[in-house]
Structure 1
Amino acid sequence: MKKSMLQILAAYAGMLLFGIVMISLGTVNTFLSEQFGLTNAQLGSLAALLPAGILAGSLVFGPFADRFGYKYLLIISTLLVSAGLWMMVTAETLLPVQMAFFLIGLGGGAINGGTNAMVSDINTKNKSSALSLLGVFYGIGALGMPLLTGLLVKIWTLAQIIRFVALFLIIPIIYFLIIPFPPPKHADKFPISRLKSFFKDGILIGLGFILFFESALEGMANNWSAAYLTQDHVGLARTHAVMYLTFLVAAITVGRLILGWAFRKLSPVKILYICFTLILIGSIGLQFTGSAILYSAPAVTAALSLILLGLGFSAGFPVILAKVGERYPELSGSAFSFVLVIALLGNTLLNYLTGILTNTFGLKYYPLMLILSVVLMFGLAIGIFNTQTKKE
């Protein structure tokens, strides 16, 4: 088997595990509450430490990968996740659990960024298509883990399942140890001075801010849609509303499979604009779900809106990260870190703003945040790509 194929499989394994681990953490709040008698404020500290770890991992993975290569990055990151999971279920006090959540986020953020950067490096052509396929494996992990948990919970406790996942991570670590990886780009000396150029590159900053809105939109859809759909003017049952979020994740996964074919027919930028249009239509659909216009079928409208949102979300990260990889092939890891940190800041800030606005004016206005964000993102993308075309 070709070296590049072995490396691509390593990236797929890393992204699959990232999906499994991130979804697994969503199931442990009940376990931790029972184990330690946690208050909502203490659970909130765990919810904050995970994205803080992901942000830190996203910040450091790029320079580390450019200097030392992807092999050590993936091995160390996977070890951090495994150690965090094991620490979480064996801890006797809250502090180790908090440390565990940060470690899991740190390793997960580095795995996410590192696998994307490595796939971009390996595929000198068709980067968008390759990155789309990589994203499919996150969806497989995220969708498959709840099904696996549903089967295992019949014979194991939740703590035993998490221990199993922690030990299972040894298998990809062994695989990462034995296969060859692309050599480090700057094994002798890392060009720190080159990083300063990122802050002077308007196109790179603009690409980062497209992901600022893309990441925020994905976060808002995941965090607020279920609560919105249970409001009186929509009236869906809580269990149905949560189930509808599966449509969102499934649509992103299917969308990224479709993109592999679509990129052979249309340019990545045109596909990006089509996907932004789908996000806009889906957001408008959510706004009118349960209204007088669409009151007769809120369940159908909600499902279609979330599917459109998922399909729309499928192109953002693959297309923009491909553009970043093409712009900085010799510093792809560091450039990916730069834009992913901007993306995560967008997710955090706009979700926080959404929380303030919905607390003040009510959840029924939440889709307006989606609409405003996608309009701003669309306008920013048009401006950046038109500027880039004129320069070329």
Structure 2
Amino acid sequence: MYNKQVVFIVACAGLLFFGITLITLGSVMLDLRLKFGLDGVAAGTLFSIMPVGILTGSLFFGPIGDRCGYKLLLVMACLGLCAGFQGIAHAGSPALLKACIFLFGLSGGVMNGATNAVVADITVRGKGASLSLLGVSFGIGALGMPQVLGAMKHHFQWFEIVSAVGWLTLAMALLFAVIRFPPAKQQQGFPLAQGGHLFTDVTLVMIGLFLFFQSSFEAIINNWTTTYLTAGGHMEEQAALYALSLYVAGYTVMRLLAGSVFRMVSPAGMLIVSLLLMPAGVVLLQVSNAFVLSAAGLILLGAGLAGGFPIMLGFVGERYAAYSGTAFSFVLVIALTGNMLVNYLMGLIVQQYGVRYLTTVAFAEWIFMVLLCSSIVRRLK
């Protein structure tokens, strides 16, 4: 037997470390460039390694989790994160740094997928709401790491801080090792082979495509908003970064509300709210050069984007309970592919036509999300 509340709490702690993982490389990139003498192209290469690692981890965690359970996966993910943190802090060569960043991303991808899958498995009703509450910890991690670095740099070297966070993941591995988790769902055979029919399911493919656009929408907002806001001298970089942090705050607060106050609202109702908030946020970004309206637009965007992953993964967990890990792997790989492809496409658009087309790309993605969401909800009914 296992304690659902304990499993949920440790899953939240694991996803908090995934939030820290995603933000750490960007937070210390200036220090890494100074340490290794990296130019812009070399720094960009480091950034490109991370999502490849996350994609790889997302690909294999599901079948292994369905076959062997999630305890071993989560322990190994923590050990990998610890090694990744230590490598980023202490690597003596660019080649070793690249290997550590890949391991960092790989372990983060496993942590993200496994914590979401195990929460979906232990939740009988309201999977989307529980996954939203789980997602709050991700936002806390993503918001907290830059603050910790900023506050502690007056007292410690950057690599000492990163290394210390890494040792915390080792402690997390020990915690995962002693806690009981749900047993493996597929005691015999290999889930990827037995669950092959899942991948011909049109509904599952459509959920994956929705998350393709959801993930890429989040990526372009995270990566290009500060450039957009500071273009033409309309806003100082410090103000733009603060506005972006409000986007993450809106994202986190909305997930908290979805998992608590709005827990009884239907998933379809929450999706409607989300899809209405998103264009409102984009319009405010498009029409305003002032900080207040731009910040309001980013808060609305964060709140609008908060529901996509928890709700869609909740649908997946309910529909494919026997192979939830494998199904999660399938849709998360599609989502991360969208993140990488559309972000690269956005880079080409910025290079050729300018960053002003950020809102145009965002509107195009929103239209695809609305069409897919409508079809998915109809098919699930």
**TM-score calculated relative to the size of structure 1:** 0.94
**1:161-184 residue CA offsets vs partner (Å, 9 max, x unmatched):** 111111121211111111111111
2:88 is matched with 88
The answer to whether the Cα contact below 8 Å between 2:248 and 2:302 also exists between their aligned partners in 1 is yes
Rate the CA distance shift 1:182–1:364 in 2: closer, same or farther, 3 A: same
2:324 to 328, 332, 342: 332
The answer to whether the Cα contact below 8 Å between 2:66 and 2:191 also exists between their aligned partners in 1 is no
Inter-partner Cα distance in structure 2 for 1:2 and 1:336: 22
2:358 is matched with 366
SS in 2 for 1:156: coil
Inter-partner Cα distance in structure 1 for 2:342 and 2:30: 27
Inter-partner Cα distance in structure 1 for 2:263 and 2:89: 46
Inter-partner Cα distance in structure 2 for 1:27 and 1:266: 37
| Residue segments in structure 2 that go unaligned for 5+ positions in a row | none
Inter-partner Cα distance in structure 2 for 1:354 and 1:269: 30
Give the Å deviation of 1:207.
Answer: 0.6
2:172 is matched with 172
The answer to whether the Cα contact below 8 Å between 2:192 and 2:326 also exists between their aligned partners in 1 is no
2:245 is matched with 246
Inter-partner Cα distance in structure 1 for 2:348 and 2:135: 31
Instruction: Kindly provide the amino acid, as one letter, of the partner of residue 319 in structure 1.
Output: I
2:291 is matched with 299
The answer to whether the Cα contact below 8 Å between 1:287 and 1:365 also exists between their aligned partners in 2 is no
Q: Does 1:131 align with 2:166?
A: no
Of 379-388 and 169-178, deviating more is 379-388
Q: Does 1:281 align with 2:273?
A: no
Give the Å deviation of 1:260.
Answer: 2.1
1:204 is matched with 204
Of 260-269 and 195-204, deviating more is 260-269
Inter-partner Cα distance in structure 2 for 1:286 and 1:194: 47
Rate the CA distance shift 1:31–1:273 in 2: closer, same or farther, 3 A: same
Give the Å deviation of 1:160.
Answer: 0.7
2:333 to 341, 344, 349: 341
Give every structure 1 segment of 4 or more consecutive aligned residues whose post-TM-superposition deviation is greater than 6 Å. none
1:6 is matched with 6
1:295 is matched with none
Inter-partner Cα distance in structure 2 for 1:170 and 1:89: 15
Inter-partner Cα distance in structure 1 for 2:336 and 2:7: 26
Of 234-243 and 109-118, deviating more is 234-243
1:162 is matched with 162
Rate the CA distance shift 1:92–1:191 in 2: closer, same or farther, 3 A: closer
The answer to whether the Cα contact below 8 Å between 2:133 and 2:260 also exists between their aligned partners in 1 is no
1:293 is matched with none
Give the Å deviation of 1:262.
Answer: 5.0
Q: Give the total of aligned pairs.
A: 381
The answer to whether the Cα contact below 8 Å between 1:284 and 1:371 also exists between their aligned partners in 2 is no
1:70 is matched with 70
**1:191-241 residue CA offsets vs partner (Å, 9 max, x unmatched):** 433332122100000011110111011111111111000112x70111111
1:385 is matched with 377
SS in 2 for 1:182: coil
The answer to whether the Cα contact below 8 Å between 2:219 and 2:343 also exists between their aligned partners in 1 is yes
SS in 2 for 1:183: coil
Inter-partner Cα distance in structure 2 for 1:2 and 1:178: 11
Give the Å deviation of 1:2.
Answer: 6.2
The answer to whether the Cα contact below 8 Å between 2:243 and 2:291 also exists between their aligned partners in 1 is no
Inter-partner Cα distance in structure 2 for 1:88 and 1:54: 16
2:314 is matched with 322
Pairing 1:106-121 to 2, within 5 Å after superposition: 106-121=106-121
1:122 is matched with 122
Inter-partner Cα distance in structure 1 for 2:191 and 2:11: 26
Inter-partner Cα distance in structure 1 for 2:116 and 2:317: 10
**TM-score calculated relative to the size of structure 2:** 0.97
Instruction: Kindly provide the amino acid, as one letter, of the partner of residue 288 in structure 1.
Output: V
Give the Å deviation of 1:103.
Answer: 0.3
Inter-partner Cα distance in structure 1 for 2:230 and 2:192: 50
Rate the CA distance shift 1:261–1:163 in 2: closer, same or farther, 3 A: closer
Q: Does 1:29 align with 2:21?
A: no
Rate the CA distance shift 1:57–1:5 in 2: closer, same or farther, 3 A: same
| Residue segments in structure 1 that go unaligned for 5+ positions in a row | 291-297
1:61 is matched with 61
Give the Å deviation of 1:303.
Answer: 0.6
The answer to whether the Cα contact below 8 Å between 1:280 and 1:375 also exists between their aligned partners in 2 is no
